[in-house]
């Protein structure tokens, strides 16, 4: 196998967790090898790791994770999953979900297994790595795109290894109901997660906060996360300047950029990002709502919706749509004159959504993605803006 050599990262993280080494920052070299860096964190003596946010909506921020936040997250995760076990690393190790696989393994005293990602994420490579796990209790973390690939015409071997996981944590992006239904029908135990580097990774499981985690929604509908899993802050921006982190009644809080609601049972529903609201012709449109509607159409495997500059509307609703199979033929992808299937879909959306329907559609075989598996919102928005041409 050509999997990453994570031994240096495990040793450096273990030293930092025990207060015997500096904070760790992981990155990948040009040849794909793992680089273990050490970084100064002025004013934070118990820092363990510095994690760069994905940068899907702007400049990445350097988030400082401490012994306390990582220990609280690891313990709460073990309680929620009803045990500690062996983890399969199938996500980029430099992001928080990847680092958490290493940290949880260190706290559990188990050896993580690393999937060979040298050829990208493939069902064959995932299956081969999962077959190497030896512990009876097994976990992995995936993003929806990865799970979708695993469940698209899966082999018997892939289904077998997926079913052997005690839990497959699914986060990084909203998971379509169709994907969750397919996983349930296949016998895969999926746990949806919500969180970020600022909360030491996922801290809301299946809509409910982990032990020691608090969640609330402010008057603007913005989600706030609180508790011991919250990061120390950003390396380059003190709390008092950014306003993102704050203390209240002895609890540390992180102010997200997401909108949400909490029902009477305390279950959180994420409604989209603050910047997902598109104001077009004076009408407020939820980009997430439009995305979910587009993804209900036959042949649509994923969609991304954004507002683009428009001389007529102020903002126009635009959609980057991933189509399955022949529907995403080269003649249809990324073109102002999409193929026949895409045209039929646009007509369907105008009938079904009316003024909410996208005025510009870019059809492709897949969404543009960042290395951590999240949609590259900036790149797709730029393409949609160029295609719409400010009309």
Paired residues of 366 in beta bridges: none
The three-state DSSP-derived secondary structure of 207-236 is: CEECCCEEEEECCCCEEEEEECCCCCEECC
Across 54-71, average pLDDT: 82
Instruction: Give the pLDDT confidence score for residue 336 in this predicted structure.
Output: 39
Q: What is the pLDDT of residue 332?
A: 35
**Structural domain spans, the chain:** 7-269, 281-388
Sheet holding 300-310, edge to edge: 300-310, 314-323, 360-364
Highest mean pLDDT among 202-216, 262-276, 317-331, 348-362: 202-216
pLDDT of residue 262: 96
pLDDT at 50 over 60: yes
Q: How far is CA 375 from CA 40, 366, 369, 372, in A?
A: 31, 10, 4, 9
327 pLDDT tier (thresholds 50, 70, 90): low
Comparison of pLDDT for 138 and 61, the residue scoring more:
138
Give 151-174 pLDDT, tens digit per residue: 999 999 999 999 999 999 999 888
Please state, in angstroms and as integers, the Cα–Cα distance from residue 126 to each residue in 5, 66, 121, 140, 164, following that order: 17, 31, 7, 11, 13
- 370-386 average pLDDT score: 88
Cβ neighbour number for residue 178 with a 10 Å cutoff = 13
B/e letters for 330-352, b = 16+ CB within 10 Å, e = fewer, are eebbeeeebbebbeebbeebeee
Query: CA-based angle 262:264:268, to the nearest 5?
Result: 25
Cα four-point dihedral sign 205, 206, 211, 212 = positive
Residues with Cβ within 8 Å of 153's Cβ and at least 6 positions away in sequence, in order, are: none
Q: Quick one: pLDDT at residue 335? A: 41
Read off the pLDDT of each residue in 29-58 and give the average, rounded to a whole number.
85
Q: Which one, of 97, 268, 78, 271, lies nearest residue 197 by Cα?
A: 97
Share of the chain above pLDDT 90, in %: 68
HSE, CB side, 13 Å, CA atoms: give it for residue 232. 21
Q: Give the pLDDT of residue 286.
A: 85
281-388 CATH: 3.30.300.30
Q: Which residue has the higher pLDDT, 247 or 58?
A: 247
Per-residue 3-state assignment (H helix, E strand, C coil) for 348-372:
HHHHHHHHHCCCEEEEECCCCECCC
Taking residues 84-113, report their average pLDDT.
Answer: 95
Highest mean pLDDT among 214-228, 306-320, 324-338: 214-228
Closest CA to 68 of 253, 242, 227: 227
Higher-confidence residue of 344 and 128: namely 128
Strand, coil or helix: 20: coil
Q: Mean pLDDT over all residues of the chain? A: 89
Split at pLDDT 50, 70, 90, the class of 326 is low
Under 8 Å CB-to-CB from 297, ≥6 apart: which residues?
Answer: 345, 348, 349
Return the DSSP state at 375. B
Q: What is the pLDDT of residue 337?
A: 40
Spatial CA neighbour of 362 closest among 343, 384, 340? 384
pLDDT at 131 over 70: yes
Over residues 180-239, the pLDDT tens digits come to: 999 999 999 999 999 999 999 999 999 999 999 999 999 888 999 999 999 999 987 655
Q: Is the Cβ–Cβ distance between 245 and 255 less than 8 Å?
A: yes
Please state which of the ranges 130-139, 268-277, 374-383 shows the lowest mean pLDDT.
Answer: 268-277
Distance CA 359, CA 286 (A): 15
Domain 7-269 coded CATH 3.40.50.300: no
pLDDT-derived band of residue 178, with 50, 70 and 90 as boundaries?
confident
CA distances from 34 to 5, 8, 92, 249 (A): 7, 9, 10, 41
DSSP 57-84: SSS--EEEEEHHHHHHHHHHHHHHHTS-
Average pLDDT of the segment spanning 175-180: 88
In sequence order, what are the beta bridge partners of 244?
Answer: none
> What pLDDT is recorded for position 18?
96
Average pLDDT over residues 77-94: 96
């Amino acid at each position: 196998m050509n999997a990453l050599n994570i031994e240096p990262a495990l040793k450096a993280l273990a030293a930092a967790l025990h207060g015997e080494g500096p904070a760790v920052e992981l990155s990948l070299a040009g040849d794909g090898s793992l680089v273990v860096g050490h970084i100064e964190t002025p004013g934070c003596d118990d820092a363990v790791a510095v994690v760069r946010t994905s940068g899907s909506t702007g400049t990445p921020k350097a988030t400082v994770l401490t012994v306390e936040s990582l220990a609280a997250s690891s313990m709460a995760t073990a309680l929620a999953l009803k045990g500690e076990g062996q983890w399969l690393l199938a996500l980029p190790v430099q992001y928080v979900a990847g680092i958490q696989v290493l940290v949880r393994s260190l706290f559990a005293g188990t050896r993580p297994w690393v999937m060979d990602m040298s050829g990208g994420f493939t069902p064959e490579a995932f299956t081969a790595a999962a077959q190497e796990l030896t512990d009876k209790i097994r976990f992995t973390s995936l993003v929806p795109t990865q799970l979708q690939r695993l469940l698209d015409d899966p082999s018997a071997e892939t289904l077998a290894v997926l079913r052997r996981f005690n839990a497959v944590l699914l986060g990084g992006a909203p998971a379509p109901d169709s994907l969750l239904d397919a996983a349930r029908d296949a016998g895969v135990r999926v746990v949806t997660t919500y969180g970020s580097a600022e909360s030491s990774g996922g801290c809301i499981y299946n809509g409910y906060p982990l032990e020691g985690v608090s969640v609330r929604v402010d008057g603007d509908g913005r989600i706030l996360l609180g508790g011991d899993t919250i990061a120390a802050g950003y390396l380059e921006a003190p709390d008092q300047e950014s306003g993102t982190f704050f203390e209240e009644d002895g609890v540390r809080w992180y102010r997200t950029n997401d909108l949400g609601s909490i029902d009477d049972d305390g279950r959180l529903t994420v409604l989209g990002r603050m910047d997902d609201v598109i104001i077009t012709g004076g009408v407020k449109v939820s980009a997430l709502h439009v995305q979910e509607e587009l993804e209900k159409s036959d042949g649509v495997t994923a969609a991304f919706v954004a507002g683009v500059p428009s001389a007529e509307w102020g903002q126009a609703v635009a959609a980057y749509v991933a189509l399955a199979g022949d529907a995403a033929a080269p003649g249809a992808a990324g073109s102002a004159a999409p193929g026949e299937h895409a045209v039929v879909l646009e007509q369907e959306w105008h009938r079904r959504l009316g003024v909410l329907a996208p005025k510009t559609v870019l059809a492709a075989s897949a969404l543009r993605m960042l290395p951590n598996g999240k949609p590259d919102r900036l790149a797709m928005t730029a393409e949609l803006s160029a295609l719409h041409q400010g009309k």
